[in-house]
Amino acid sequence: MKRLLLSIFISFLIINFTYFVSAIIINNNIEFKVQNETYKTNSSMNFGSITITDSYIIFNYTGFYVTSMNDITITLVFVNNDITNANDGEKILDFYAATNSGNVWFNLSGFTSGTDYRVTRDGTLLSSGTANSSGFFTFFNSQWSSHRFQIYQQGEGDITAPQISSITNTFSNTVDTQIGWENITAQVTDNNAVDEVILHLTDPFDTSTQLTMNRITGTTIYYYNTTLGQPGNYSYLIWAEDLSGNNESSTIYLLSLPSNWDIDIDGKCSVFDLVLVSNHYSETGAPGWIREDIDNNGAVQVADFILLSNHYGESWYV
Asked whether residue 231 carries a pLDDT value surpassing 60, the answer given is: yes
* pLDDT tens figures, 161-170: 899 999 999 9
194 conformational bin, left if phi > 0, alpha if psi -120 to 50, beta if neither? beta
Asked whether residue 51 carries a pLDDT value surpassing 50, the answer given is: no
Counted residue by residue, the chain has a size of: 318
Output the furthest CA–CA distance in the chain (Å, rounded): 99
Asked whether residue 145 carries a pLDDT value surpassing 60, the answer given is: yes
* pLDDT tens figures, 14-35: 233 222 333 455 666 666 655 5
More confident residue, 102 or 239: 239
The pLDDT of residue 60: 54
The answer to which of 119-123, 182-186, 237-241, 310-314 has the lowest mean pLDDT is 119-123
* pLDDT tens figures, 247-302: 899 999 999 999 999 999 999 999 999 999 999 999 999 998 999 999 999 999 99
Asked whether residue 116 carries a pLDDT value surpassing 60, the answer given is: yes
Asked whether residue 5 carries a pLDDT value surpassing 80, the answer given is: no
More confident residue, 115 or 43: 115
| Contacting residues for 192 by C-beta, under 8 A, at least 6 apart | 158, 160, 242, 243, 244
Rounded to whole angstroms, the Cα distance separating 23 from 79 reads 18
Asked whether residue 146 carries a pLDDT value surpassing 80, the answer given is: yes
Q: Name the residue type at position 139.
A: F
Q: Is the pTM of this model over 0.85?
A: no
Asked whether residue 186 carries a pLDDT value surpassing 90, the answer given is: yes
Looking at domain 163-257, its CATH class is mainly beta
Q: Where are the alpha helices (DSSP H) in the chain?
A: 271-279, 302-311
For 218, the 3-state DSSP assignment is coil
